[in-house]
Chain A
Amino acid sequence: MLRITILWVLCTLVMLATVSAGLAAAPREYSDGVIAADTVWEGEVVITGPLVVKKGATLTLRPGTSVRFRRVDTDGDGIGDGEINVEGTLIARGTKTEPVTFSSAEAEPKPRDWKYIIFQYSRGSAVEYCELRHAFTGLQAHWSDVSVRNCLFTENFEGMRFSTAVIDVSHNIFKGNGFGIRYESRGSKGSISGNDITDNGCGFFAVVKCEGEVEISGNNIVNEDYNVKLGMRQTGDLVFSGNWWGSSDPDEIEYGIFDGRVDEQLGTVTYLPALDGPVEDAGIE
């Protein structure tokens, strides 16, 4: 009798342990989700469709959090519908050894599997030690103030996009994207410095109204097609002094810039004084 009791207790304990382990492993799921109160994520999160962080709410992601987006394209635009729309605040802070990751949930992930993390009229957000992959745009910031530091943007159509924003974009890696950073400054302030913006199709795409107060210096900007490309309506001159272009030769530097030197309707990029070697401590600190 005692033996049977002991066996029964042991079996129960094993079952409980198994169930607990199973519960702990189940990811948190959102489908057309809304976060209207302060919320903390850790572990695995799977998102289907848009998720909005309402104004007044803060979503915090702990180090090691993995956020994956299912590819669902209900509007048929060729871009997955998954997104995090931050109207409140997002604090996504990983560490160098335990980054927060945003990626596709598909078995064969590819760019545009999900849309973006988009900040609209958001205040005080920070995205640090994160990895963003397989998006249309890894991160977009509009009419918001956002700090983006020590992140990896790779395998996206665009790494980052911003307009009318207060930004600190420093010590990130933008690598293997269609565009590294696309922007319309429209009064933006802040800086883009200490970044490795390399091996993208185009490093910077300055669409229109890009004159302004965002300082872009101290970066390594070495890309496949263009390092800086001006949109057809960007008629004002832009300043990209103090960056490394993969070469000190003015001809080679200018070869990688599409501006008024190529199409006289466009503004001219000032790249001098240029750095005479790569920024050694650019990228993730």
Chain B
Amino acid sequence: MARRTSLVTSAAALCAASLLYACFAASVSVAADTAGRTGFEGRASHNGLVLSGVRIYAYDGFESMRANSPSAVSPPTGDDGGFVMEVPPGRYVLVAKMRSEGPDDGPLAPGDLYSFHGSNPVSAVEGSMAHVGFSLVEYVPPVYSDTGDPSAGGISGVVTYNGEPLQGAKVSIYIDPGTELKGVGYSFSPPTGPSGRFNFDFLPQSDYYVVAHKRLSGRSAGPISDGDYYGYYTGNPLRVEAGKSVNIEIRTVSKAGEIGKDDSLFRDTGTGVTGRITGPDGEPVQGVYAFAYTDKLMMHRRPEFISRQTGPDGRYVLNVSGGGTYYIGARSDYGDSPSIGEWYGKYDVTPDHSVEIKTGEKLGGVDIVVERVLLQ
């Protein structure tokens, strides 16, 4: 008996030591990825979904950006939309692009994807990797028409979000990029109405940077906060010619709102749920997202957190920002209202589809059954 007890004790000690070593090794490995490096890391997305193949261009100023002459270019983003880019310490204008003509920097073509970081210029601090996220929108070329007034030009257009007019946005135009596109600028519009439209008349011939903001606080200035809308016209700088009016669409994105509250949503936060997504026949369903709302209504807006798409085994890991009550479901699309034929289901063990998660807990066994919406 004494010999068996001794063996058990030794085995337990060995397991504990192995576990400790594994944890240490892992933490060292993670630390080694970024320790001492200077630059930027983050994720690129489009329409709320992570996007691979995007490159981040870092320019030392607006003139370099205009000349398509970057100081550094990242490798293409991976399947998780992530990138890492090392640069010397300094301030950079960061832009994400996906050009049909390839990875070399250059002008945009219709359909190309583009994102100008709303905090530009961004600082790279010695020994630190700053996290930056990009929500890319499509480049829509400007349309010129004659005004009949040879003395001046004009800019008109619409501010949109997710393809719909955005009411309450303010559009500012800047001539001098030295302003870093902050402050009042050369002129600004009143808040857009339900049509999202804006208009500037009697503009002198020049190049203009056109930017739209909608701050939920209602303030006209200050940094963009979570939930605010921001749009940098993809065709900036915009040429205004005397005698011509130019019509544009400014596609806005919501800061940290495109993919939950944290655009590094797949990062392991240590808190979340795991489970398996199956169809009504009990078979795993591939290609669906688990999602979590903090509102039991689970409607009318995007969920705060989503998982990666499931693989052939239907398993998912859904990270959330902290402990609390979350309302859980799964679907095959992320964005608009579920459509006919789409996979959709809610966690059905609790009447209101909720789970209670403690901070630091990964709650397992949160299995979800999905069905095709309204298909017979």
Tell me the A residues contacting B by CB distance below 8 Å. 34, 36, 52, 54-55, 87, 121, 142-145, 163-166, 184, 186-187, 208, 232-233, 265
- B167 → A minimal CB distance (Å): 8
Please give the distance in Å from B199's CB to the nearest CB on chain A: 15
The residues of B with any CB-CB pair to A shorter than 8 Å are 164-165, 194-195, 299, 337-340, 344-346, 348, 351-352, 371, 373-374
Tell me the smallest distance from the CB of A69 to a CB of chain B, in Å. 18
Q: Are B374 and A166 in contact (CB under 8 A)?
A: yes
Is B194's CB under 8 angstroms from A232's CB?
A: yes
Query: Which of B165, B339, B346, B351 lies in contact with A164, CB distance below 8 A?
Result: B339
B373's contact among A121, A232, A233, by CB below 8 Å, is which?
A: A121
Q: Are B351 and A186 in contact (CB under 8 A)?
A: no
The answer to whether B352 touches A52, judged by C-beta atoms less than 8 angstroms apart, is yes
A208 to B340, CA, bound (A): 17
- List of A residues within 8 angstroms of B348 by Cβ: 54-55
Whole-angstrom distance between the Cβ of A189 and the nearest chain B Cβ: 9
* Docked complex Cα distance between A121 and B373 (Å): 7
Query: Could you give 16 example pairs across A and B, Cβ below 8 Å?
Result: A54-B348, A55-B348, A121-B344, A121-B345, A121-B373, A143-B338, A143-B344, A143-B374, A164-B337, A165-B374, A187-B339, A208-B164, A232-B165, A232-B194, A265-B194, A265-B195
Is A164 touching B352 in the complex (CB atoms < 8 A)?
no
Q: Shortest beta-carbon distance, B78 to chain A, in Å?
A: 34
Residues of A within 8 A of B164 (CB): 208, 233
Known: A52-B351, A166-B374, A232-B194. A186 touches B337 (CB 8 A): yes
The secondary-structure label for the interface of chain B is loop
| Docked complex Cα distance between A277 and B352 (Å) | 48
Q: Which 4 pairs between the two chains have the least Cβ-Cβ distance?
A: A232-B194, A34-B351, A187-B340, A52-B351
**Chain A residues near B339 (CB, 8 Å)?**
164, 186-187
- B374: chain A residues at CB < 8 Å are 143-145, 164-166
* Nearest neighbor of B339 in chain A, beta-carbon distance: A187
A228 to B339 alpha-carbon distance, docked (Å): 25
Query: How many Å from the CB of B190 to the closest CB on chain A?
Result: 18
Shortest distance from the beta carbon of A79 to any chain B beta carbon, whole Å: 12
A174 to B170, CA, bound (A): 41
Report the nearest A residue to B350, measured CB to CB.
A34
B contact residues around A187 at 8 Å (CB): 339-340
A164 to B344, CA, bound (A): 13
A54: chain B residues within 8 A (beta carbon):
348, 351
Q: Which residues of A contact B352 (CB under 8 A)?
A: 52
Beyond A34-B351, A121-B373, A166-B374, whether A233 also contacts B337 by CB under 8 A is no
A54 CA / B369 CA spacing, docked (Å): 13
Nearest-CB distance from B375 to chain A (Å)? 10
A183 to chain B, nearest CB (A): 12
The residues of B that contact A163 with a CB separation of less than 8 Å are 337
Residues of A within 8 A of B345 (CB): 121
Extra pairs beyond A87-B346, A164-B373, A232-B195 (13, CB < 8 Å)? A54-B348, A54-B351, A121-B344, A121-B371, A121-B373, A143-B338, A144-B374, A145-B374, A163-B337, A208-B164, A232-B165, A232-B194, A265-B195
B198 to chain A, nearest CB (A): 14
In the complex, chain B residues whose CB is within 8 Å of the CB of A142:
299
| Residues of B contacting A121 in the complex (Cβ-Cβ under 8 angstroms) | 344-346, 371, 373
